Amino acid sequence: MSQPKILLLGAPGAGKGTQSSNLVEHYAVEHVTTGDALRANKDMETEHGTPREYMEAGELVPDPLVNEIVKAAVEDAGGFVLDGYPRNLSQAEYLSDITDLDLVALLDVSKEELVDRLTGRRMDPETGDIYHTEFNMPDDEAVRDRLVQRDDDTEETVRERLRVFEENTQPVIDHYEETGELVRIDGEQAPEEVWNDLDAAIEDAA
């Protein structure tokens, strides 16, 4: 498939960023995330106002406005990987009205594995680089000594983020399961094995 249209679902820590990068590189598609799309179109005029008005007020950008921004992004792209959208059922229904997806893939990772992954993250405050206590620690001792855990990576915060994800996005996963479109990928494998399964799923969908 030359430039597939892919929806990638998965909880925080499931590996969507890594696999999205692989898709962009391998298939030359656009990586469309809600955050990036909103930042790139902060001043886009819609009947619901501009994203900037909500973002500067620290408010959630309403669904109809997010929908319009995503529509503009996917219409401009030959192929794409959508990451972080749809976040709820009404967005999923809107998406099916504006484009035909080639693949809906869920990176399936257990809650405890997600907690381990996210709480193990450490950041270098000088460079912003992200490391992990189990999988990826820097060789330089000075760098290791200055690593910090971000506030949003504490166990309490991580479990709350996962609860919110589940509450909002589980209906989306159920929706694609019911329509028969959902392909589950074992996200607990090594990243290259996850990629092999994802790539094979795309080829199967062709």
Catalytic residue numbers? 16, 87, 121, 150, 161
C-alpha–C-alpha distance, residues 19 and 176, integer Å = 20
DSSP three-state, residue 67: helix
Could you tell me how far CA 147 lies from the centroid of its own chain? 25
| Strand residues in the chain grouped as ranges (E) | 5-9, 30-33, 80-83, 103-108, 121-123, 130-132, 182-186
Rounded Cα–Cα distance for residues 61 and 73 (Å): 16
